[in-house]
Structure formats: C-alpha cells, structure tokens
Amino acid sequence: MTRIVHIGPGAFHRAHQAIYTEDAADGWQITGVSLRSADFADALIKQNGRYTLVTRGTDGIEYRQVTAMSKALAIANGRGPVLDALTQADTRIISLTITEKGYAPPFDASSAITLLVQALQMRKDAGRPGVTLLSCDNLTDNGAVLQKAVTGAAPSDLADWIAAHVRFPSTMVDRITPATTAELRAEVAEQAGWADEIPVETEAFSQWVIEDNFAAGRPDWEHAGAELVPDVAPYEQMKLRMLNGAHSMLAYCGHLTGKVYVRDVMADPALAALVARHMDAAAATLDPGTGLNPSAYRDQLLTRFRNPHIAHKTYQIAMDGSQKMPQRMFAPAQDAVRRGQDVTPFSFATACWLHYLGGRTDAGDAYALRDPREAELAALPSHPKDRVDALFALPDLLPAALAADPDFRAKTAAYLLAITQHGLMATTKEDAHV
Ligand code: CS2
C-alpha cells in the first residue's frame, strides 16, 4: 500500500489533506505522526482510524466519517516506530502541517526538521527510494523554505542525496478550520451517535493548489478538486496577503475589542469596513497578469469570514504573530512602499499587533501572548513612538527597506498613539470613515 506519513495531524490536516486523499479514492492511506502529546494517536487507535468531519455550509450541516488516516503514531510513545514509518519504501510522501514556527531555526532534537533529517539519512543508508516532502503550512514558497531548512540541517553527503532524490513542491492550502472544542465533541456524540474524541469542524469551502513536482507518485488529488499547477506562487501570495493578512489584522483588532469570533468582527460595521479595506490594499500589492481575480476573491473571503456557523476564535488566529506578520503584513507593505501605494492599512494592522502585544484588552482583561518570540515582544517599551522604533529594530522581522520607510513608521506610530489614548474601538470607528 502506498502511504503518506503526515507530521502534525491537527484539525486543519484532518479537514483538508485527509479529505482530498480520501476523495481521491486510489488507495493511498495516511499515517499521522504527532510530535507532542500522544492523545491524538491514542484516540485514533481507539477509534480504529475513524473520526468525524463536520462541515458547516450555508445550506446545513453534514457529518461525515473519515477513514483516510488509518494509522497514528506519537513521538511521545517512542521515536523508533515513527522513524520506521518515515523510512519504509512504500512511504512516498511525507507531508507537514507544523505551523510557521516549525520552520524557524534553531532546530532542536524534538523538532520536525531534525526528525526529517534523521529519516532521510536512514533512507539513504538503506538504499530506499526517493520521497517527496510536502509542506502544507501558510508560508511564502513553503516548498523552498522546507528544502532550505532540511538541507541546511543535513551533513553534506546527505544534502547531495537529498538534491538528487527528494522533491519539495510548494502548496497553497485553504480551509477555515477552528480548533476542536468540547462543544463540538458533545454535538458529534449526539448527532453522529458515538463518542468521537477527535472530530473536526470546518467550512464548506476548500482549496488546495499544488506544484506538480513529486519524486515517487501522488494520489489523484485533482480527482478530489485540488489544482495541480506548475507555479503556486501567485495563489500563495494572494491567499497569504488577502485572507491571512486580513485575518491577522482582524484577530488583533477583534481580540482587543472583545470580539471572540471572526464572525463577531464581521458583524461590526466599522470593523468589517476595515477588513474590506485591508483586503483591497493587499490586492493592490499583487502582481498583475497572473490570471487570478483578486476582486472576486475578496468578495468570496468576506462571505466566508461572515459565516455565522463557524466559531473561529480571534485569539486562535492572534497567536504566533512574529511568525505570521512578515509574510502576511510586512512583505505586502514593502511592495506598497516600492510602488508608491498607500501603506495606511498595513500601518494600522501593525499598530493593532503592537497594542495586542501589551497583553491587555480594551476592557482591561489580561491574556497570554503565545508567541515563540514572546520574551522580546513583551519587553518592548510602552511609549508609542519608542515602541514602534524598538519593534522595527528587531532582527528577522521587518524587511530593511520597510523598516527604513519614514511614512510607514510615522503612520504606525500615529495609530498606536491614537489607540493608546482613545482605545481601539474609538480609533477604528474614526478610521472606517477615512
Ligand atoms: C489563520 C489561518 O490561524 C491563522 O493564522 O489565518 O489558519 C487560516 O484560517 C487558514 O489559513 C485558512 O485557510
């Protein structure tokens, strides 16, 4: 049997790649590998490889039993069986959803990158065939980013073998999938009639664009609706800047103003206007002539964000800002500067993030930042102008040309001052009429 070993079988993978693989219906099965707790693997084994997908569309709710992930392993239960799965000759694809921070060095012994390097070494030593490493995370050029991380962490003879035998296609993945909650488990127990510990809920929309560059075959994913293309970059850029960029902006704004879910932000006319404004600014930074239609995409995104049946927490999206802002906010802002376009929406979003990093909502409630660079971010000075200067001076965050742009810096500081003095809600209300 041909296999995919998937590292990071969280809610998103279970609602996305697993479904495409099941719908391809050509015999591929997935082994899920958890890098952290053994809870997921234990639950899937107990459930004989079955879980429930709950799809909340505009015309009702569907409950589906999924069996694409027939096996699960956890590093917490031993590295040996995981390495064994990764090095089997019939493992043709190793895919990953390890979030943005999974690709940021340094890579310690428990990281996905270290595990991959070890597995590739074993494949090479055992004379096993080549394999495809497939990143399914929201990063620009995710295939190239993965290739650089893996090759950079490998000794030179292994790096040569990787260059000859391993492929790293880029992908654009999209499906809004909130984290699984106790409420969902209760709903599934009632509706599907069994105590599923790992159900997942998602929207009806789903998109997967994949660079067709595989070392040893792949499922017939296009049969399941995926788009196999020579170059993913234009799709990825549009999605990261318009969907994820607007998501991050509304997550900071929303969490600070007491909006628990994305749909709550969209129900507030002033905030919804800012979301649309952000998407327009992001669209203006995209390369023309790609054949994509950013304005239709924008309208579709606004409808998806408004979906009243999806409870997607702003606080969930707000985490890991240091890993998300560069590709979602700073890269388009830099392009806007380069093209002489207005940077106001990007400055506003950056000011919201900076205010969020203060750790208190407008109502005074404290929360955890949840960011791998939390220590640096929490130590930023509080005076608005100094705060902006200190953020812009942090390494590996803003591109140099953007950090050096006086207009972007001044607008960000002006917004932060207004938010600090009048609160975020008052600032957004005025801003919606700008
Ligand atoms: C979100 C994404 O949590 C986040 O940062 O922006 O997970 C988003 O929901 C997905 O990329 C949608 O495909």
pLDDT bucket at 434, cuts 50 / 70 / 90: very low
**Is the C-beta atom of 175 inside 6 A of ligand 1?**
yes
3-state secondary structure of 5: strand
Integer Cα distance of 140 and 1 in angstroms: 33
pLDDT of residue 433: 35
Is the torsion defined by CA of 66, 9, 251, 226 positive or negative?
Answer: negative
CA–centroid distance, residue 402 to ligand 1 (Å): 25
pLDDT bucket at 428, cuts 50 / 70 / 90: confident
CA–centroid distance, residue 137 to ligand 1 (Å): 9
pLDDT of residue 59: 83
Q: Which residues pair with 257 in a beta bridge?
A: none
**Is the C-beta atom of 310 inside 6 A of ligand 1?**
no
Q: Which residues pair with 211 in a beta bridge?
A: 229
CA-nearest residue for atom 8, ligand 1, is 176
- Digit-coded pLDDT (tens) for 335-375: 999 999 999 999 999 999 999 999 999 999 999 999 999 99
CA-nearest residue for atom 4, ligand 1, is 317
Q: Starting from the edge strand earliest in sequence, which strands make up the sheet with 227-229, in order?
A: 171-174, 207-211, 227-229
pLDDT bucket at 209, cuts 50 / 70 / 90: very high
- Digit-coded pLDDT (tens) for 24-46: 999 999 999 999 899 999 999 99
Q: b/e string for 197-233 if b means 16 or more Cβ within 10 A?
A: bbbbbbbbebebbbbebbbbebbbbeebebebeeebb
Question: Rounded mean pLDDT of 72-90?
Answer: 97
pLDDT of residue 199: 98
CA-nearest residue for atom 9, ligand 1, is 176
What value does the mean pLDDT of the chain take? Answer: 96
pLDDT at 17 over 50: yes
CA dist 234 to 87, 95, 241, 398, Å?
A: 33, 22, 11, 22
Residues whose CB falls within 8 Å of the CB of residue 62, separated by 6 or more in sequence, listed in order: 53, 54, 55
**Is the C-beta atom of 317 inside 6 A of ligand 1?**
yes
When computed from its CA atoms, the radius of gyration of the chain, rounded to whole angstroms, is: 22
Residue 190 CB: number of other CB atoms within 10 A?
A: 8
Question: Rounded mean pLDDT of 245-271?
Answer: 97
CA-nearest residue for atom 11, ligand 1, is 174
- Digit-coded pLDDT (tens) for 172-196: 999 999 999 999 999 999 999 999 9
What the block records as the tokens of 310 is: 């999806």
**Is the C-beta atom of 239 inside 6 A of ligand 1?**
no
CA-nearest residue for atom 13, ligand 1, is 174
Question: Rounded mean pLDDT of 222-240?
Answer: 98
Helix (H) or strand (E) holding 156: helix 156-165
CA–centroid distance, residue 312 to ligand 1 (Å): 10
Q: b/e string for 81-103 if b means 16 or more Cβ within 10 A?
A: bbbebbbbeebbbbbbbbbbbbb
Integer Cα distance of 50 and 81 in angstroms: 21
Which of 293, 212, 198, 272 minimizes the C-alpha distance to 431?
272
The preferred substitution site among 206, 317, 322, 325 for testing ligand 1, maximizing ligand atoms within 8 Å of CB, is 317
pLDDT at 403 over 90: yes
Integer Cα distance of 431 and 348 in angstroms: 9
- Digit-coded pLDDT (tens) for 121-146: 999 999 999 999 999 999 999 999 99
**Is the C-beta atom of 247 inside 6 A of ligand 1?**
yes
pLDDT of residue 58: 80
Integer Cα distance of 118 and 86 in angstroms: 10
Residue 140 CB: number of other CB atoms within 10 A?
A: 16
Cβ(262)–Cβ(250) below 8 Å: yes
Question: Rounded mean pLDDT of 278-282?
Answer: 98
The preferred substitution site among 176, 275, 323 for testing ligand 1, maximizing ligand atoms within 8 Å of CB, is 176
pLDDT of residue 431: 55
Helix (H) or strand (E) holding 6: strand 3-7
Dihedral, CA of residue 8, residue 282, residue 295 and residue 253, to nearest 10: 70
pLDDT of residue 410: 98
